[in-house]
């Protein structure tokens, strides 16, 4: 690996001023290909693809498939997500492989006779599962943008081998699995594979997944449509029918990913490439950054009360619009141009009082004619890839909650999502993340649920500068915004920008949730005096204690444009890794 250039070296020597006692993981600097992911085996699988002559898309596919084996809390072939591909020639494409509601899904399927949401019905078990899109989405991106040097079967092989031969369980993973006993223990296959029927995994044990290995072997032999039309589809549908789920073979055969136009915006001379609906992430991110452009963010203390107050007010307004207007564009007309209109956002920003928090009850969707805002789990993972030629992938995908629905589909070894919870189960009732969503996101057969996933690429002078994204449910958009502004406005080093303490405001509940130590006691007192309620981020269901209170995991690449060196920045909130093609 080449020594960092002088600019990079200076950046890496900066003290992690916003971290308190925490020590961020080391960054990786290279002039060649680079993969940053939440788990080491997966990052290395992608890097090995780059070494063998594959491009960024090839590497992203191998990494994502391997995460399905080695990072089962979020990595998946039983979920879905979004990918932004930006080629070295400047062309960019957005891939939507979000899950879809089964044909038998109904608007009120999670309500009881009294019209109230039934606890856990949309989050646990077979009824919570939407039709998975990951395999189809990865295959489509590979077909359109892969190098052609490595076959689909070759890109699956690292995942298949790790599933068959096993890999060593870390202390963190063992703790993670124990924290999910209630969820995984309710499903016989999940209980057998991940809990060993009560003989729980310990640090250093070997986790083998032979059924998943067999599924991956079928996908190698028969191609990606095997998941939707072959033996795997048959097994998934049979398991659904046996346990009250809705997904049929017809649902699986009908699934198709969608190629969408990349959503583009600008912030202080930078161009952003991000995800359009049914992700709410891109629109909300661009709204927030546009509202911030009228303020001198660089002059504000990064963890000071004035900056946090301003960001919270901008977040509040963007999330109110999210609740009122966003959903699946194939089912609902989304006013994208109106929501991103600079005059509209200037008027929206003008309602911010720098001395006082605006109560969320006073903030609704801001477009005219206004609609009354109506009501709307946390485990996702992000990976960033850049190859030697400058092709880039920003990929975020999910099974929604930690270990999804807790269901392993029969003999497939596949952990399935609980993505149906991302629809609006009932106006006025928050989902698992406290998000309130609108009529545009009501359940309909074949519809994609609204998402917060925000894979993003930032360009400076036409060159790739930042590749980022994050897990974190409703907090994703705000995590991505903070990483970007930490780099552009505050001039933090890549390491500092990712490690800096984070906070979140999502309109409802009307509070700033935050990581421990996100601001001084004096700053927190000032925020309360402005009218903000502050809430320390709590442990989510199934989260191991070591991750309590953290927000997101932004596996990021930053390019030092002066030297051309790429800086891989794992996020220390998860066991992330940067692997290089050298």
Distances in whole angstroms, Cα of residue 469 to Cα of each of 151, 179, 545: 27, 26, 24
- Residues forming the active site: 380
- Cα separation, 416 vs 76, in Å, equals 8
3-class secondary structure, 279:
strand
Q: What is the pLDDT of residue 540?
A: 58
Judge contact between 83 and 146, C-beta under 8 A.
no
pTM exceeding the 0.85 threshold for the entire prediction: yes
Q: What is the pLDDT of residue 370?
A: 36
Q: What is the pLDDT of residue 25?
A: 81
Indicate the Cα dihedral angle 258, 261, 262, 265, nearest 10°: -150
3-class secondary structure, 567:
strand
Q: 463 phi and psi, to 5 degrees?
A: -110, 150
Give the strand order in the sheet containing 92-97: 258-260, 92-97, 80-86, 392-400, 379-386, 34-37, 577-580
Question: Is the CATH number of domain 260-377+473-556 1.10.246.130?
Answer: yes
- Cα separation, 313 vs 249, in Å, equals 46
Q: What is the pLDDT of residue 432?
A: 55
- For the chain, which residues make up each domain, given as ranges? 6-12+25-80+91-258+381-441, 260-377+473-556
Low-confidence ranges of the chain (pLDDT < 70): 1-23, 368-378, 426-438, 539-548
Distances in whole angstroms, Cα of residue 517 to Cα of each of 476, 520, 523, 545: 20, 7, 11, 17
Helix intervals (H) in 243-304? 249-254, 281-292
């Amino acid at each position: 690996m080449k020594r960092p250039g002088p600019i990079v070296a200076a950046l890496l020597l900066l003290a992690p001023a916003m971290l308190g006692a925490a020590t961020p993981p080391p960054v990786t600097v290279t002039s060649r290909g680079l993969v940053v992911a939440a788990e080491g085996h997966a990052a290395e699988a992608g890097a090995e693809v780059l070494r063998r002559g594959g491009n960024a898309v090839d590497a992203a596919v191998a990494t994502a498939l391997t995460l399905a084996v080695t990072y089962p809390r979020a990595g998946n072939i039983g979920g879905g997500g979004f990918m932004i591909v930006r080629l070295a020639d400047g062309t960019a494409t957005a891939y939507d492989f979000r899950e879809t509601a089964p044909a038998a899904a109904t608007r009120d399927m999670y309500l009881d006779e009294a019209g109230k949401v039934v606890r856990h019905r949309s989050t646990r078990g077979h009824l919570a599962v939407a039709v998975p899109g990951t395999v189809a989405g990865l295959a489509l991106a590979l077909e359109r943008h892969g190098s052609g040097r490595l076959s689909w079967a070759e890109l699956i092989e690292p995942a298949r081998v790790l599933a068959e031969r096993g890999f060593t369980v870390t202390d963190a993973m063992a703790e993670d699995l124990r924290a999910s006993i209630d969820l995984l223990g309710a499903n016989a296959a999940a209980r057998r594979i991940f809990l060993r029927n009560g003989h729980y995994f310990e640090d250093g044990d070997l986790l083998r997944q032979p059924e998943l290995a067999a599924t991956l072997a079928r996908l190698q032999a028969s191609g990606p449509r095997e998941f939707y039309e072959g033996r795997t589809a048959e097994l998934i549908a049979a398991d659904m029918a046996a346990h009250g789920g809705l997904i049929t073979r017809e649902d699986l055969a009908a699934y198709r990913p969608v190629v969408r136009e990349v959503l583009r915006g600008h912030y202080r001379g930078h161009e952003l490439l991000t995800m359009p609906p049914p992700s709410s992430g891109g629109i909300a991110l661009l709204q927030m950054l546009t509202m911030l452009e009228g303020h001198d963010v660089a002059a504000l203390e990064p963890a000071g009360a004035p900056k946090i107050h301003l960001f919270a007010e901008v977040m509040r307004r963007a999330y109110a619009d999210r609740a009122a207007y966003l959903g699946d564009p194939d089912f609902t007309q989304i006013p994208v141009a109106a929501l991103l209109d600079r005059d509209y956002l200037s008027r929206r920003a003008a309602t911010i009082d720098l001395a006082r928090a605006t109560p969320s009850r006073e903030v609704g969707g801001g477009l005219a004619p206004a609609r009354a805002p109506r009501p709307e789990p946390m485990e996702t993972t992000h990976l960033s890839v850049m190859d030697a030629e400058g092709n880039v992938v920003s990929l975020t995908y999910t099974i929604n909650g930690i270990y999804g629905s807790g269901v392993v589909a029969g003999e497939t070894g596949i952990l399935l999502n609980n993505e149906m919870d991302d629809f609006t189960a009932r106006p006025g009732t928050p989902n698992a993340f406290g998000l309130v969503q609108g009529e545009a996101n009501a359940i309909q057969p074949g519809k994609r649920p609204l998402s917060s996933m925000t894979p993003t690429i930032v360009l400076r002078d036409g060159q790739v500068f930042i590749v980022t994204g994050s897990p974190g449910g409703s907090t994703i958009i705000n995590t991505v915004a903070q990483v970007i502004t930490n780099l552009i406005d505050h001039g933090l080093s890549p390491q500092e920008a990712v490690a800096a303490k984070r906070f979140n405001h999502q309109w409802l509940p009307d509070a700033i949730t935050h990581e421990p130590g996100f601001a001084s006691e004096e700053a927190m007192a000032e925020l309360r005096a402005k009218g903000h309620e502050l809430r320390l981020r709590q442990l989510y269901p199934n989260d191991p204690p070591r991750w309590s209170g953290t927000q997101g995991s932004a596996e990021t690449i930053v390019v030092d444009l002066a030297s051309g060196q790429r800086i891989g920045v794992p996020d220390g909130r998860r066991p992330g890794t940067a692997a290089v093609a050298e």
